[in-house]
């Protein structure tokens, strides 16, 4: 294997580990957040609104993250900022400690989603450049596989923490461990990765004032949007499930296990 291919695999696998650890934290908590917000006094309507606004923030902020990446070429800065905001998840129990109800917890949930939108365009750009010697499909396939391993493992670890430690608060605080590992791994990747000059030289946008999306692309995006209107959020399924006597009898560890199955 050539040196270039070896380095490409190192970057892609290292960023895959970063995504895996990130998912352990924020996907791990997503099966518990609806029930925790209910514990803090939030209604089903509030939970649905908060989780929906969080996802909306995640996707709208990708426009901002992509624009800033193109204009400033500060890819690593945006990646560090975006992943750094995952710290919002371990801080969610401060809502309970400070007696602020569900409001602070909701703000932290939305803040974490903002971070995802900011980091994703820059991270994917780095992967796309690193993958030139091995193929973009393979690179993104490896990264997505590791990402989904974390997304499935995270809720199961969160459920185990709730069952063994006996409460939400400890499980949230325990997620500081994978968060610290995530930031350390990201710092290591940054120190070992040199971006090509074409990525780091600020340049004006080439498509300013031009039509970027074709009619077919616009129609496809509209169809995807209409499809999403019919989806029933997993957060509400888990909120309603947590109210049933069966789930309450088994314990608070069950909803994150259900989320891992979803």
Write the pLDDT tens digit of every residue in 170-185: 899 999 999 999 999 9
Mean pLDDT, all residues of the chain? 86
Q: What is the pLDDT of residue 150?
A: 92
Write the pLDDT tens digit of every residue in 109-151: 999 999 999 999 999 988 888 777 777 788 899 999 999 999 9
Top-level class of domain 3-195+213-261: mainly alpha
Q: Give the angle 65-83-56 at the CA atoms, nearest 5°.
A: 50
Yes or no: say if 74 and 82 are a contact pair by the CB < 8 Å rule: no
What does the H/E/C string look like for the chain?
Answer: CCHHHHHHHHHHHHHHHHHHHHHHHHHHHHCCHHHHHHHCCCCHHHHHHHHHHHHHHHHHHHHHHHHHHHHHCCHHHHHHHHHHHHHHCCCCCHHHHCCCCHHHHHHHHHHHHHHHHHHHHHHHHHHHHHHHHCCHHHHHHHHHHHHHHHHHHHHHHHHHHHHHHCCHHHHHHHCHHHHHHHHHHHHHHHHHCCCCHHHHCCCCCCCCCCCCCCHHHHHHHHHHHHHHHCCCCHHHHHHHHHCCHHHHHHCCCHHHHHHHHC
Q: What is the pLDDT of residue 208?
A: 47
Sign of the CA dihedral 54, 78, 190, 7? Answer: positive
Residues of the chain with pLDDT under 70: 1-4, 195-211
* 193 vs 197: CA distance, rounded Å: 13
* 149 vs 23: CA distance, rounded Å: 8
Q: Domain segments of the chain: what residues?
A: 3-195+213-261
Q: Which residues are within 8 A (CB) of 81 and not within 5 positions of it... i.e. 6 or more apart?
A: 115, 118, 119
Q: What is the pLDDT of residue 177?
A: 95
Q: What is the pLDDT of residue 84?
A: 96
Q: What is the pLDDT of residue 204?
A: 53
Q: What is the pLDDT of residue 50?
A: 92
Yes or no: say if 25 and 154 are a contact pair by the CB < 8 Å rule: yes
Yes or no: say if 78 and 195 are a contact pair by the CB < 8 Å rule: no
């Amino acid at each position: 294997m050539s040196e270039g291919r070896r380095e490409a695999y190192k970057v892609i696998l290292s960023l895959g580990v970063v995504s895996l650890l990130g998912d352990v934290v924020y996907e791990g908590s997503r099966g518990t957040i609806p029930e925790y917000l209910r514990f803090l006094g939030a209604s089903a309507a509030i939970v649905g609104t908060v989780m929906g606004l969080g996802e909306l923030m995640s996707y709208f902020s990708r426009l901002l993250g992509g624009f800033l990446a193109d204009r400033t070429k500060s890819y690593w800065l945006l990646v560090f900022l975006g992943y750094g905001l995952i710290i919002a998840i371990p801080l969610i129990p401060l809502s309970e400690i400070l007696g602020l109800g569900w409001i602070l917890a909701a703000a932290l949930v939305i803040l974490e989603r903002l971070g995802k939108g900011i980091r994703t365009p820059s991270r994917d750009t780095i992967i796309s450049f690193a993958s030139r010697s091995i193929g973009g499909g393979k690179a993104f396939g490896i990264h997505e596989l590791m990402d989904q391993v974390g997304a499935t493992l995270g809720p199961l670890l969160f459920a185990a923490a709730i069952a063994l430690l006996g409460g939400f608060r400890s499980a949230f605080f325990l997620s500081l461990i994978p968060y610290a590992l995530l930031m350390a791994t990201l710092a290591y990747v940054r120190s070992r990765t040199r971006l090509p000059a074409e990525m780091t030289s600020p340049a004006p946008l080439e498509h300013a004032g031009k039509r970027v999306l074709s009619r077919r692309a616009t129609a496809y995006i509209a169809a995807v949007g209409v499809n999403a209107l019919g989806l029933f959020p997993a957060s509400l399924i888990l909120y309603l499930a947590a109210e049933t006597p069966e789930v309450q009898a088994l314990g608070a560890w069950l909803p994150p296990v259900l989320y891992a199955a979803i």
